[in-house]
Amino acid sequence: MLKNGTRAPEFELADQDGKRHTLKSLLAEGALILYFYPADFTPGCTKEACSFRDLQKDLVAAKLRVVGVSPQDAESHKRFAAKHGLNFTLLADQDKKAVKAYDVDGPLGFGVRRGTYLIDADGTIRDSVLADLRIAEHEAFVQRALAAGAGQKNR
């Protein structure tokens, strides 16, 4: 994981609808929760994505956006979002460039580790968590960001 207080690496990736996004464009609206996950449709990743979906109203109130990143293609993300009613952006990182830049590549380059970053509007990593199979730690991380009103400081 990248250290808190460091600059978040820039990237450019397509979302589930084929629209291109950069980190800079995502931060234009304020602070961002950027989470990396291993794969669409797996039980743990589905639980995590649905918890973000269910917190969307609270996230918006705190002026926080959530964006998920995994190596599946845009079409897989589109099906995943549709099946589970996901109301946030999923980015396709098939070459794992962002995965590697954010230091969440799996052991020996296989898979993706479950990591979540809170990034300020200026691109600074404020907080992070790496918990792999412990999805509850990611949920607690998001709850702390909400309680702190993380996005409020960026508006």
Q: Are strands 125-130 and 115-119 parallel, antiparallel or unpaired?
A: antiparallel
Positive or negative CA dihedral for 8, 98, 13, 41? negative
Q: Which residues contact 77 (CB under 8 A, 6 or more apart)?
A: 15, 16, 40, 70, 90, 91, 92
As annotated, the active-site residues are 45
